Amino acid sequence: MPDYPQDTRQTPRVANSAVPPQVAIAQNVAERIAQTIGQVIIGKRNEVRLAVLGLLCKGHILIEDIPGVGKTMLAKALARAIGCTFSRIQFTPDMLPSDVTGISLFNQKTREFEFRAGPIMAQIVLADEINRATPKTQAALLEAMEERQVTVDGNTHLLPDPFLILATQNPIEYEGTFPLPEAQLDRFMIRIQLGYPNPAEELTVLSAQQYDHPINNMQQVVSVQEMIAAQQAVREIYVADEVKRYIVDLVNASRSHPDVYLGSSPRGSLALFRAAQARAAMAGRDYVIPDDVKALAEVTLAHRIIVGPAARIKDISSRTIVQDVLASTSVPGASAR
């Protein structure tokens, strides 16, 4: 995965008065959240900032990694930093869709059906080991992820704002799992991996958790209202027509690549577009540059690409294909706004 915010053309941070006010809101919110989570998730600055970026974009996040590297703790820390309601769904093969969305129960006193909300009715939802649920239960998340609502017994219930699903899955263990269908993978804006810490970072983790876990002392640093304002500010980041065309060219190239069975969907174009806006805001700019697109192409497009059978035999991955597409697609030059 490309190193996240290494852009030498970034404008200075929030302290610089040249940063537009709306951009400063989003940048300030992102910095406070990232710095606070960085005290809990040691040595994963890029991955933490990608998680914050997904929240700024109102996009869902898939963390694909081995057990014990901090996937669950990242979700908890994100919720605590914002003061959002948090719920955890531990997916198992015997779980039913109603265990996720909720159920209508008949009240003997009122003689009416009452809706008992499921764990999906929270602002930040951790879908832990999502690939252990059956396809029927996984499908219960589709409406919530795309339309931000759930329908139970013909009645529609809106989900709170902000709303983020942070799902985890183990890519190594396949026994007792059900691979996520393409329709559900496509609804995740970004896919990230935390990976092992290096020895120095692991020593820091041991020292930090000798007496207590750092998350127990973690305080809320951003209000929900500030988070919503930052999400609205990101939508106002300017994207030139040339950069939009660059995004479309990258996605089209993923569809025509010889090693691809199925390329990225138009939802992938929009995900890359929104993510680039958020990256620009976090860098203190009110405009997107091609470097924003290039830095985020892998995390937004790779999980949407299905590699052809012949390419899988050659051990070619979707990440390799995204890198090929980036290398073969011409980058637009600068133009006047």
- Is residue 250 a contact partner of residue 325, using CB atoms and an 8 Å limit? yes
Average pLDDT of span 2-6: 46
**What is the per-residue pLDDT for 191?**
93
pLDDT band at 5 (very low <50, low <70, confident <90, very high): very low
In CATH, the architecture of 21-328 is 3-Layer(aba) Sandwich (3.40)
**What is the per-residue pLDDT for 17?**
44
**What is the per-residue pLDDT for 13?**
38
Tell me which residue of 33, 43, 36 sits closest to 205, measured CA to CA.
Answer: 43
Average pLDDT of span 227-247: 94
The residue whose two tokens read 């030139």 is: 240
Q: Indicate if the pLDDT at residue 252 is higher than 90.
A: yes
**What is the per-residue pLDDT for 177?**
79
**What is the per-residue pLDDT for 8?**
37
**What is the per-residue pLDDT for 174?**
66
Report d(CA 18, CA 80) in Å as an integer.
31
CA separation, residue 103 to residues 94, 153, 184, 284 (Å): 17, 8, 23, 45
Average pLDDT of span 214-226: 89
Least confident of 4-18, 145-159, 160-174, 192-206: 4-18
How far separated are the first and last CA of the chain, in Å rounded?
A: 31
| 165, β-bridge pairs | 125
**What is the per-residue pLDDT for 71?**
86
Q: Indicate if the pLDDT at residue 14 is higher than 50.
A: no
Note the pLDDT tens digit of each residue in 291-322: 999 999 999 999 999 998 888 888 888 999 99
The DSSP string of 187-227 is TEEEEE---PPPHHHHHHHHHHTSSS-GGGG----S-HHHH
The tokens describing 74, both together, are 């990242």
Average pLDDT over the chain, rounded to an integer: 87
Report d(CA 57, CA 65) in Å as an integer.
23
Note the pLDDT tens digit of each residue in 32-75: 999 999 889 988 889 999 999 999 999 999 998 888 888 888 98
pLDDT band at 210 (very low <50, low <70, confident <90, very high): confident
Report d(CA 192, CA 89) in Å as an integer.
20
Q: Indicate if the pLDDT at residue 246 is higher than 90.
A: yes
Domain ranges (residues) in the chain: 21-328
Note the pLDDT tens digit of each residue in 70-115: 888 898 899 899 988 899 999 999 999 999 999 888 888 888 888 8
Q: Indicate if the pLDDT at residue 4 is higher than 60.
A: no
Note the pLDDT tens digit of each residue in 102-161: 988 888 888 888 888 899 999 999 999 998 889 889 888 999 999 999 988 888 999 998
| 61, β-bridge pairs | 166, 190
Q: Indicate if the pLDDT at residue 24 is higher than 80.
A: yes
